[in-house]
Amino acid sequence: MNIDVSKFKECRVLVIGDLMIDEYLWGDVDRISPEAPVQVVEVKKEESTLGGSGNVVNNLAALGAKVFASGVIGTGKNGNMLLKRLGYLRVDAGGVIREHGRLTTRKTRIIAAHQHVLRIDRETRKEISGETLDKIMRFTEKVIPETDVVIVSDYGKGLITKTLMARVVKAAKKHGKIIIADPKGLDYSKYTGVTLITPNRKEAALAAGVEITNNSSLMEAGAKIINSAGIERLLVTCGKDGMVLFERDKKPYKIRAEARQVFDVSGAGDTVIAVLGLCLAAGASFRTAASVANIAAGIVVGKVGTATVSEKELTAALMPRSTPLSVNLRKKVRN
């Protein structure tokens, strides 16, 4: 594939999206609470990472890109922690706005004896204030001239409103920048003008109002979205079945997933949009970018926990497979 992964270090990416903290508590269970008929989890290990659009940022930073992050957080200690983590990644977090009275989204997963037993969400989905929107746009307009690509990572937490989206698209178009989005919700008209969106199969089915059960219903849903939503391209990710790229007036382009042992599929979509963005920033075609993103996501699902892929791993995975010796010999004989 015609892509130089080492070029990703020179890429500059603006990520606008729902920042979160993913918290994991691991523990043992060996008794029932005397207070209520519930299990008692004795916590042995705690960990927290960047989640939501923060995981897209993680993936970009792992490949050496310069990232500008924009989103909304609260004013408390979770917000502080999130900013600190972005700082560790050397991200420009000038577009991360602290809104009074808003919770920083935090998802806590409790894993007891290797079983995911409970998830606790602390979040608000209310729309951002007009003041926050203006601040985000001021940052966007400042950094957009020096970025190569804009990524919108929408997790439906009230940041990516129709108004914000329209203003970001306008700013990207004004400077001739590619803008790609991982969408949420049923109404994709919100993403009008975007260069490409990356729903998974279930999200595409819901947005198109078409139940996807086979190849022909997938084609129908894809065609429906691309013809109605004012979006130039659509990449439907299909888990273990890979992905399909829909481009207007072109035949859909199918990419088979890399067969490998799967440990954890969560976060694969974040890797897809991050690597897709970097490939486009580095000048690749949409087909090449999607194929490389597919390979990168295949690597990530083989790791435990929401993970990232490194330049070394991706370069190795992109190397042409060496031909078995017997095949070489046979070729020689024929020649």
Ligand X SMILES: Nc1ncnc2c1ncn2[C@@H]1O[C@H](COP(=O)(O)OP(=O)(O)OP(=O)(O)O)[C@@H](O)[C@H]1O
Positions touching ligand X (CB under 6 A) are: 200, 237-240, 242-243, 257-258, 260, 262, 265-270, 272, 294, 297-298, 301
Task: Choose among Mg ion, ligand X, none what residue 264 binds, the Cβ cut-off being 5 to 8 Å by kind.
Answer: none
Q: How far is the CB of 114 from ligand X (least distance, A)?
A: 20
Query: Whole-angstrom Cα distance, residue 326 to residue 181?
Result: 46
| Alpha-carbon radius of gyration of the chain | 21
Phi–psi pair at 119, nearest 5 degrees: -125, 135
- Burial state string for 257-272 with b = 16 or more CB within 10 A and e = fewer than 16: bbeeeeeeeebbbbbb
Read off the tokens for 13: 């990416």
Q: How far is the CB of 293 from ligand X (least distance, A)?
A: 7
Q: Which residues pair with 67 in a beta bridge?
A: 13
Options 148, 154, 182, 270, the catalytic residue: 270
Three-state DSSP class for 27? strand
Q: How far is the CB of 254 from ligand X (least distance, A)?
A: 11
Any residues with CB less than 8 A from the CB of 139 and at least 6 apart, and which? 68, 70, 94, 95
Task: Choose among Mg ion, ligand X, none what residue 265 binds, the Cβ cut-off being 5 to 8 Å by kind.
Answer: ligand X
Query: Whole-angstrom Cα distance, residue 18 to residue 73?
Result: 9
Q: Of 95 and 269, which has the nearer Cβ to Mg ion? A: 269
Report the number of secondary-structure helices (H) and strands (E) in the chain.
Answer: 10, 13
Query: Whole-angstrom Cα distance, residue 224 to residue 185?
Result: 16
Q: Of 99 and 270, which has the nearer Cβ to ligand X? A: 270
Task: Choose among Mg ion, ligand X, none what residue 153 binds, the Cβ cut-off being 5 to 8 Å by kind.
Answer: none
Q: Of 16 and 97, which has the nearer Cβ to Mg ion? A: 16
Q: How far is the CB of 83 from Mg ion (least distance, A)?
A: 25
Task: Choose among Mg ion, ligand X, none what residue 270 binds, the Cβ cut-off being 5 to 8 Å by kind.
Answer: ligand X
Three-state DSSP class for 75? coil
Catalytic residue at 270? yes
Task: Choose among ligand X, Mg ion, none what residue 92 binds, the Cβ cut-off being 5 to 8 Å by kind.
Answer: none
Q: Of 137 and 276, which has the nearer Cβ to ligand X? A: 276
Q: How far is the CB of 221 from ligand X (least distance, A)?
A: 14
Helix (H) or strand (E) holding 178: strand 178-182
Write the Ramachandran bin of 72: left for phi over 0, alpha for psi from -120 to 50, otherwise beta: beta
Q: Which residues sit at the interface with Mg ion, rule CB under 5 A? A: 269
Q: Of 71 and 269, which has the nearer Cβ to Mg ion? A: 269
Residue 258, amino acid: E
Query: Which residues are identified as catalytic?
Result: 270
